[in-house]
Chain A
């Protein structure tokens, strides 16, 4: 199970920290992603972190503002979001990446947490 938390209403320029609690599997074995969906829109990848946390990537529009991290001892994934903009308003999902035989896909998703950036 993946359960996101930490969403809410924040003013432009503000910060939020999202968390994703994992259970039912060995969290430390899996790469993870954050994916977002603006209201009425499609899915947009936000950030990736390797299973150990040593490799991290971001979508261009969030580079320098968002920070992904994980605590494998706590089975948790995080997304620190700073300098938030109206266009960051979205439901944020965490997703587990399953890789086998050179093929990777997001096999398990949380239900999402809504972030609203508005004054």
Chain B
């Protein structure tokens, strides 16, 4: 079973700053990794799929990188609406089981 470890657990930043979130897999997942944003009371929002592809409608300030076991989600300049919890996720080839990281909360400093 693949384990995803996200760090840090909490990131305290100010609007306009750069956010760098990490997700490490216990074994290689290639580029089969996605990133999601969660805000209270809202549906989860897909940000990045296949490690580095922005989903439809996602602003260019969000970018993903990495392959194998180490992945990064970068928010180049935080907007007020970006303060939220972010999860990485991978899906095994077969059976199609989903695994999530523990999440990183990006909070206003």
Contacts and interface: CB of A to CB of B under 8 A. Distances in A.
A53 to B, nearest CB: 14
B95 interface: yes
Q: Is the interface of B mostly helix, strand, loop or mixed?
A: loop
A35 B98 contact: yes
Contacts of A110: 43
B100 to A, nearest CB: 4
Scoring A33, A59, A109, A110 by chain B CB atoms within 10 A of each residue's CB, the highest score goes to A109
Interface stretch (B12-20, B44-52, B73-81): B44-52
Nearest to A44: B100
B59 interface: no
Size category, B interface: 20 to 34
A78 interface: no
Nearest to A112: B43
Contacts of B42: 111
Contact of B89 (A103, A105, A111): A105
Contacts of A43: 44, 87, 89, 100, 103
Interface of A: 2, 31, 33, 35, 42-45, 48, 57, 59, 93, 95, 97, 103-112
12 contacts: A45-B100, A48-B96, A57-B97, A59-B97, A105-B89, A105-B91, A106-B89, A106-B98, A107-B46, A107-B55, A108-B46, A109-B44
Given A42-B100, A43-B100, 11 more contacts: A43-B89, A48-B95, A93-B43, A103-B50, A104-B32, A105-B34, A105-B49, A105-B50, A106-B34, A109-B43, A111-B41
